[in-house]
Structure 1
């Protein structure tokens, strides 16, 4: 029996027929998570969050420390995808390891996070493309309105690519990996050899900065942790390895391996890239420019020639375009899988695949919602920081990591009753799962907090454009799905639905 037959048989044991096209290699599976993590996206677009909230130490020390915690989370999820390689991913795991209510909340949190990731990546891509165009076209003014229009165009392009180039997607994922590897290498080389001078080791590893507006007395307990959003946001979306596992050959091993490896290699490459940023940040006043405080582009324009700065902007914009394409793929597969089990209103429409085995309706719906939740980005915050963008980023981090927490906790609770797949943590699962649970809980608290004093209700300079609306959006959704569950869904939602009949000898052993 071929490996493809083994994959289809395992999927049947989990209750599903092979509807999606299983044509992805193990490398393509790794590539989609590596592309979604995209150090050419997250490190560029959220560099300012760390610079303004902590400065160099939030980056030089914060990145490797937080990356280590995220890798532990990745190990925990890799064990689960090895046991249950389905497109539903973490939602399916939560429902099977716990009860339908666990799957219900996990699925909605995961879906919110994936849509927010898609929105934030494509808006970041639009921002950098907006700047790049202004460097080529003298009359091009990179306004917020033009950035939003570009954002809408990029979202539409990603939807069209995912709809009409379904067989090309896995190839483009592979191209994306090499673009990120070679692109990062080129950017680092430019930042090493382009500037006339560099910062000292002391500045890079001990320097601090506070552009948050909060007092320095809050630096260690509040301001610096807010800077860690850079790492926590950049290294996320790696659950994509699970969402495309039904399209991956040898998924029980290759999806697990792709998940943790995408984190590991991104952590190393991202740290080197960020150190290159810091060493090139010789004009601190320029980086702290009140018109765009902490914006990474200020480093390039102050330390490099106009031509080299434009090259860096262009490399990043293209990398972010690849990243957004991968985000739409992952988001649409999660939508398809969740709808397949009847959890989304109009589920028959969103779980439908076309003749090319592509969930077209799920792709369109996710992109439309991503556009809508980013509408506040049309309005500028008083301190010029992209607060609306960071709010969408926070929504992505909170939604995804809370969704990760639920199945990790359930696996920890299940203990030795859990039946692992070929990739397993063995006895180390207890320590690693506990670390993952605590880290996610702490992160989720910090990233719903205000980013500036002006965003705190009751402050003399309070304004809605400075509000971190992530807790409002996530809270509203949690309240909504909680009430929905209590008033209705608990009577009809039973978790994953079987779409295939099996003979008794094919039935898997019960997990719990």
Structure 2
């Protein structure tokens, strides 16, 4: 029987061979096990804190019906996106992910430009995700203060922004830690998040007083429309809640070169994180609709400033709600291993300044995450089928269902991107408009301008992903020459000790 160490070495060798076939040498340490790779995607989802963050969107645009059935409806399409992405990840598990797939599958005439667009849209998605998660966490911290003060404390935008800035900077420090530390954190986060989900699913119905309990007909069938859009369109707008919550599953792709057995671990991490999040999230929403009472306007306008926190306050009382809400904040805090850099932190702080425009303006960061992510998802999935290429499926593939699933995924993302440019209410002002189109449109316009800029633009020098195997081979030749002269470097430039 092979020892665990020999199996690990065999997996690493296979991973390095796959990477070499794609044109790269191994550079990162493969510290992440399949469970920890799943943990990365699952931690980015941050299920309970994320549902709490965007409950303000689902409740006025359908209420219970949107929270329960809208969740399931959206999850079916999210799974299609995940399946299409998992196929690409299995075929080419590189940390470049979306950017690399686009370049390798598109026509030579446009692959540079398309991979450039993917790179910049994925960048703004990462920055917006960073900002939206920490803004939501800041709101949850002020909600905890409001609960502790029996709803006497009312926060200001300046105070929320101060907390937000502290969170951004602390998370920038967190993601600067070593790979091994981040890998081990995922196991703790999986346990914490799953336990939180079950606490809400089981304990909330038990603790809720009778006056806040809803009948099955109300919880599973009532449609409440408070924002003024036609009911059908309001329901579609409510889907931001599941689409933002179950997002970021491409994060595991960026860990491809740090994961063992990447051709299977990465696709299953994507699918697993979506499936488990969909099931647990549905359970949380069902628990909430049965236990939140019927005064949705009162919940949304509560001085606590956070709908789920108000529901907990009604059900558990002050001390119980504060204890549970503290765990929600901790889950948010430890569960945000956003793969970013300090520049992202500074840009996230800049986006956070929208809070001083209006509540609607800062809430646009949630739709900004979805729309910018979808641009970077649509492009590689579509290029696989839109151009002639030599795509070779990996161990995970859908066979004859590949094209129908991809077509559904792309059509859904295009449609939802158009929807999410609309304002939250039919009548709007400059302060209350949807700033998604401003931020995303401005950022991507600058990206296109930078690409086509005369003399200095990317069109003159950008060549997409560059293989580093040539430099590795040169390094081997240099090492061989050094050994002949008694000046060996003592390291193998092609194989990293894992």
TM-score range, shorter chain: 0.7 to 0.9
Which residue number in structure 2 is paired with residue 210 of structure 1?
A: 225
Q: Aligned pair in 2 of structure 1 residues 279, 3: CA closer, same or farther (>3 Å)?
A: same
Preserved CA contact (<8 Å) 2:143 2:309: no
Rounded to whole Å, the distance in 2 between the matches of 1:165 and 1:106 is 27
Tell me the secondary structure at the aligned position of residue 2 of structure 1: helix
3-state SS in 2 of match to 1:244 = helix
Alpha carbons 1:52, 1:294 under 8 Å: kept: no
Alignment match, 2:215: 200
Taking a change above 3 Å as real, the CA distance of residues 445 and 435 of structure 1, as seen in their structure-2 partners, is same
Q: Does 1:127 align with 2:105?
A: no
Counterpart residue number, 2:458: 489
Task: List alignment gaps of at least 5 residues for structure 1.
Answer: 333-362, 456-461, 504-512
Equivalent residue for 2:59, pick from 51, 56, 71: 51
Matches within 5 A, 1:248-259: 248-259=259-270
CA separation in 2, counterparts of 1:288 and 1:254? 41
- Do 2:168 and 2:345's aligned partners in 1 also have CA atoms closer than 8 Å? yes
Gaps of 5+ in 2: 1-8, 474-498
Pairing 1:378–2:356 present: yes
Maintained 8 Å contact 2:147/2:321: no
Aligned residue in 1 for 2:496: none
SS of structure 1 residue aligned to 2:17: helix
CA contact (8 A) 1:109 1:403 kept: yes
TM-score where L is the length of structure 2: 0.87
Q: Does 1:244 align with 2:255?
A: yes
The correspondence for 1:406, drawn from 370, 373, 379, is 379
Contact 1:97 1:407 in 2 (8 A): yes
CA positional deviation for 1:283:
4.6
Aligned ranges for residues 230-309 of structure 1 at < 5 Å? Answer: 230-284=241-295, 285-289=297-301, 295-309=307-321
2:441 corresponds to? 475
- 2:437 & 2:321 partners in 1: Cα distance? 36
Partner of 2:197: 184
Q: Which moved more, 1:414-423 or 1:71-80?
A: 414-423
1:353 is matched with which residue?
A: none
User: C-alpha separation between the residues in 2 aligned to 1:467 and 1:425?
Assistant: 41
Point out the more displaced range, 121-130 or 63-72: 121-130
Pairwise CA distance, 1:489: 1.3
Q: 1:146 aligns with which of 159, 171, 174?
A: 159
C-alpha distance in 1, partners of 2:292/2:374? 32
Does structure 1 conserve the Cα–Cα contact (< 8 Å) formed by 2:137 and 2:329?
Answer: yes
Structure showing greater Rg: 2
Shift of the 310–283 alpha-carbon distance from structure 1 to 2, 3 Å rule, reads farther
**Residues in 1 aligned to 2:434 and 2:408: alpha-carbon distance in whole angstroms:** 27
Note if contact 1:53-1:210 (Cα within 8 Å) is conserved in structure 2. Answer: yes
| TM-score (structure 1 length as normaliser) | 0.84
Count the aligned residue pairs. 453
Distance, in Å, in 2 between the alignment partners of 1:406 and 1:91 is 9
Distance in 2 of aligned mates of 1:272 and 1:389: 29
